[in-house]
Amino acid sequence: MGRWRPDARERLQQAAFELFAEQGFAATTVPEITTRAGLTTRTFFRHFADKREVFFADEVEMPKVVATLMAEAPASATPMALILEGMRPLVETRFEGRKEVLRQRRELLRSDDGLRERDLRKRAAMADAIREGLLARGLDRTRAALIAETGVTLVYVAIAEWLDTDDDRRLDDIIREAFETLRSELGAS
């Protein structure tokens, strides 16, 4: 058994998700994960800051991706349009067509307070990345924060709606519907 088998991180992630699915997040211990992956506990914590992080391993680069897309995008009509445009590729590649997988993921998320909490942090990280992007475009602090948070809210609320319903509306359309709903609700003039 070769020490040094490659892809330690991926093996850990794989083993973790198998165990989470089999017995839940809380009931799965880190030693269980590392045993299945053929590694040691210490190595797990070299690849993931804590047990929760492995759950979000696939999504770590999402904030950077959005930030890059926003930075490269041409000047949009409005900051909010810029955000929604920057989100579109992510929505397309990571959400659309994966509804069932994402529903399973949400079930796991709902089963554990710690995971829910970490999910909020990931959401905040996304908002931060967007806020930085808006600051770089010259928006003032408060405006940038406001729009970034609102943009992320739109996407998350839309995702919830999308996962809750069984029709085949596209997530992208639901996001835009949410935008229109909020607009009219605020009485934007």
Partner DNA sequence: CTAGGTGATGACACGACATGTCATCGCGTT
Partner DNA sequence: AACGCGATGACATGTCGTGTCATCACCTAG
Q: Please give the residue ranges that form the binding site for its own copies (CB under 8 A).
A: 77-81, 113, 116-118, 120-121, 123-124, 141-143, 145-147, 149-150, 153-154, 156-158, 160-161, 164, 178-179, 181-189
- H runs (alpha helix) in 29-140: 30-37, 41-47, 62-72, 79-90, 99-110, 113-136
* Contact status, residue 141 vs residue 78, Cβ threshold 8 Å: no
Instruction: Count residues near DNA (CB under 7 A).
Output: 22
Write the Ramachandran bin of 76: left for phi over 0, alpha for psi from -120 to 50, otherwise beta. beta
Residue 116 interacting with DNA (CB under 7 A) = no
Work out how close the CB of 81 gets to its own copies at its nearest, in angstroms, rounded to a whole number.
6
Q: Which two tokens stand for residue 67?
A: 């930030």
Separation of alpha carbons 30 and 43, rounded Å: 10
Separation of alpha carbons 88 and 70, rounded Å: 11
Residue 122 interacting with DNA (CB under 7 A) = no
Write the Ramachandran bin of 187: left for phi over 0, alpha for psi from -120 to 50, otherwise beta. left
Residue 186 interacting with DNA (CB under 7 A) = no
Helix (H) or strand (E) holding 114: helix 113-136
Work out how close the CB of 45 gets to its own copies at its nearest, in angstroms, rounded to a whole number.
15
Binding to DNA in span 22-81, by CB under 7 A: 28-31, 38-43, 45-47, 49-52
Residue 131 interacting with DNA (CB under 7 A) = no
Q: Which does 46 bind (CB under 5 to 8 A by kind): DNA, its own copies, none?
A: DNA
Q: Which two tokens stand for residue 171?
A: 């997530």
Work out how close the CB of 95 gets to DNA at its nearest, in angstroms, rounded to a whole number.
28
Looking at beta carbons only, is 21 or 124 nearer to its own copies? Answer: 124
Separation of alpha carbons 151 and 130, rounded Å: 9
Residue 188 interacting with DNA (CB under 7 A) = no
Tell me which residues touch DNA (CB under 7 A): 2-4, 8-9, 28-31, 38-43, 45-47, 49-52
